[in-house]
Chains A and B, each alone.
Chain A
């Protein structure tokens, strides 16, 4: 693991060395962009990204800086460093969010295709790749049913190889990406989320696959997409572990649609997430369940630089036990409402300038399925119905 990390560190130096050594024309100079976002979060009862029902309201901060450089028209190097503070789940440690090289094999009016290698943001749904950038997401928090922030690292990126392409016909465009690699794990919240609690052993990612097909009609006025992944996680037991060497397979499929008008934007996404547990022994029996998520979102741009958002977002951890009753019976002490969440969100945003964004939003939530165990260590102390108010200020360059 340590040598793996140092290899990644050196891989990161490669584009920097190229940036420094290359004699570049000002027009083809490296591009550098970044963002810094601070949120204020207040919850009525349960905690989300910090002790938000108590006195800690500023524990959600996102800072990123990226660079990209095109030494040749076919070749692009890019990388982003990210620091993210999010309550108990994320301490703000600086990490490589992505670092990749992109080679375009064919770049023509009708067709384009190429290869990408390195660490990449997973093309899942419409928002996964830009989920940490306040300017590129429609609200302070993305619909948590699909873009869970609790297993963010697992969902967000993987180290591997991608093939991508675009096919254009009559003003419409078909964009595809397929890849193979290793998703990022190593965050306690992922272990807690996948195994229900922290265990002495280690969870590592294994060979995983991912892909997205997106149809853009009339230059993006209508979008239809399907994306999916098959991620494998391997568990290596620790000393005195009650679990045996086991495997978790996680396969989400997301359907996405969007209408983009001048003033109105409508988005809907539906996801099914299938989990299979195998080989953990008697304390975590082999099983298989399918979770379901969906949201419908409308954005009305009522004035230039202003928007209004309304969204209804639903998550069921197990579609055969939507209200968690069977689960609660089998797991005394864990409430049934920890297995679902229904979130009604209303929000507004004001882009004061191209580089400064302000947002405010209110959530009324029934259920706690997307809240983290780290922020809410005692499941029996959680409330079924809760509200959340959040403010955000973001700067970018």
Chain B
């Protein structure tokens, strides 16, 4: 038995291996690296994005189910009857990916398919896409009924957090 460091990212870890397995390690490690490249969450260390709404929004909490429906563009009215306006970052944006996975509990491609089904069947509309978190904050600040997500607390009186129940 010998111990060898695995090539790649985690150089400090070692494994035991027998000669039979040895021949397979390199191809499998290569295959793994090819497949895993990009699957490794890029923003794992960052905080879960919090949900922010425009100050006109009366409610301070939302259920996860309702949140999914809001971002799925199928619930368009706040509890007080005013229109919900949804803002998102691009599908491949790390903050969007984190938001989908950890706040909504779904994956960005599912959300995209849901929007495509609405847009291309004429039964709904897509959310408004912004390209940066700065733009996201500006929209949430200025648009009545706006909802979006941010990694950092903007410390701004024009927006407030919406807690998941």
Binding site for B on A (CB under 8 A): 27, 31, 33, 64, 66, 68, 70, 73, 76, 78-80, 98-100, 102, 104, 107-109, 112, 116, 120-121, 129-130, 132-133, 135-136, 164, 166, 168, 170-173, 218-221, 260-263, 301-305, 354
Q: Is B154 an interface residue (CB 8 A)?
A: no
Chain A to chain B contacts (Cβ below 8 Å), 6 pairs: A98-B121, A98-B122, A135-B116, A164-B123, A221-B106, A304-B92
Stretch from B5-13, B21-29, B107-115 contacting the other chain? B107-115
- A27–B143 Cα gap in the complex (Å)? 8
Is the Cβ of A262 less than 8 Å from the Cβ of B128?
A: no
- A219–B65 Cα gap in the complex (Å)? 7
Is the Cβ of B122 less than 8 Å from the Cβ of A66?
A: yes
Residue among B90, B114, B119 making CB contact with A220, cutoff 8 Å: B114
Q: What are the interface flags for B79-102 relative to A under an 8 Å C-beta threshold, 1 for contact and 0 otherwise?
A: 100010100001110000000010
Which residues of B are found within 8 Å of A80, using beta-carbon distances?
A: 120, 122
Considering the complex, give the chain B residue whose CB is closest to the CB of A172.
B65
Residue among A107, A219, A302 making CB contact with B75, cutoff 8 Å: A107
Is the Cβ of A173 less than 8 Å from the Cβ of B69?
A: yes
Which residues of A are found within 8 Å of B124, using beta-carbon distances?
A: 68, 76
Is the Cβ of B77 less than 8 Å from the Cβ of A68?
A: no
Is the Cβ of B65 less than 8 Å from the Cβ of A100?
A: no
Is the Cβ of B109 less than 8 Å from the Cβ of A301?
A: yes
Residue among A27, A70, A130 making CB contact with B121, cutoff 8 Å: A130
Residue among A98, A108, A132, A262 making CB contact with B77, cutoff 8 Å: A108
Is the Cβ of B105 less than 8 Å from the Cβ of A68?
A: no
Which residues of B are found within 8 Å of A109, using beta-carbon distances?
A: 63, 65-66, 69, 75, 79
**Given known contacts A130-B117, A220-B106, what 17 new A-B pairs fall within 8 Å (CB)?**
A27-B128, A64-B120, A70-B125, A76-B123, A102-B123, A108-B75, A108-B77, A130-B120, A132-B120, A173-B65, A219-B68, A219-B104, A219-B105, A219-B110, A303-B34, A304-B92, A354-B92
- A301–B92 Cα gap in the complex (Å)? 14
Q: Is B15 an interface residue (CB 8 A)?
A: no
Residue among A33, A66, A73, A121 making CB contact with B76, cutoff 8 Å: A73
Considering the complex, give the chain B residue whose CB is closest to the CB of A119.
B122
- A59–B104 Cα gap in the complex (Å)? 42
| Shortest distance from the beta carbon of B81 to any chain A beta carbon, whole Å | 9
A303 with B37, Cβ < 8 A, contacts A70-B125, A98-B122, A170-B65 known? yes
- A219–B68 Cα gap in the complex (Å)? 7
A31 with B65, Cβ < 8 A, contacts A73-B77, A107-B75, A302-B35 known? no
Which residues of B are found within 8 Å of A166, using beta-carbon distances?
A: 69, 74
Which residues of B are found within 8 Å of A302, using beta-carbon distances?
A: 35
Number of residues in B with C-beta < 8 Å to the partner? Answer: 42
Q: Is B38 an interface residue (CB 8 A)?
A: yes
Residue among B39, B119, B121 making CB contact with A263, cutoff 8 Å: B39
- A110–B39 Cα gap in the complex (Å)? 35
Is the Cβ of B69 less than 8 Å from the Cβ of A304?
A: no
- A130–B116 Cα gap in the complex (Å)? 8
Which residues of A are found within 8 Å of B123, using beta-carbon distances?
A: 76, 78, 100, 102, 116, 120, 164
Which residues of B are found within 8 Å of A102, using beta-carbon distances?
A: 122-123
Considering the complex, give the chain A residue whose CB is closest to the CB of B122.
A78
Q: Is B151 an interface residue (CB 8 A)?
A: no
- A292–B85 Cα gap in the complex (Å)? 44
Considering the complex, give the chain A residue whose CB is closest to the CB of B79.
A109
Q: Is B126 an interface residue (CB 8 A)?
A: yes
Which residues of B are found within 8 Å of A33, using beta-carbon distances?
A: 119-120, 126
Which residues of A are found within 8 Å of B122, using beta-carbon distances?
A: 66, 68, 76, 78-80, 98-100, 102, 120-121
| Shortest distance from the beta carbon of A183 to any chain B beta carbon, whole Å | 16
A66 with B65, Cβ < 8 A, contacts A73-B83, A166-B74 known? no
Is the Cβ of A104 less than 8 Å from the Cβ of B76?
A: yes
Q: Is B64 an interface residue (CB 8 A)?
A: yes
Which residues of A are found within 8 Å of B64, using beta-carbon distances?
A: 171, 219
- A102–B122 Cα gap in the complex (Å)? 9
A107 with B76, Cβ < 8 A, contacts A27-B128, A27-B143, A262-B107 known? yes
A129 with B121, Cβ < 8 A, contacts A109-B79, A220-B114, A263-B39 known? yes
- A98–B79 Cα gap in the complex (Å)? 32
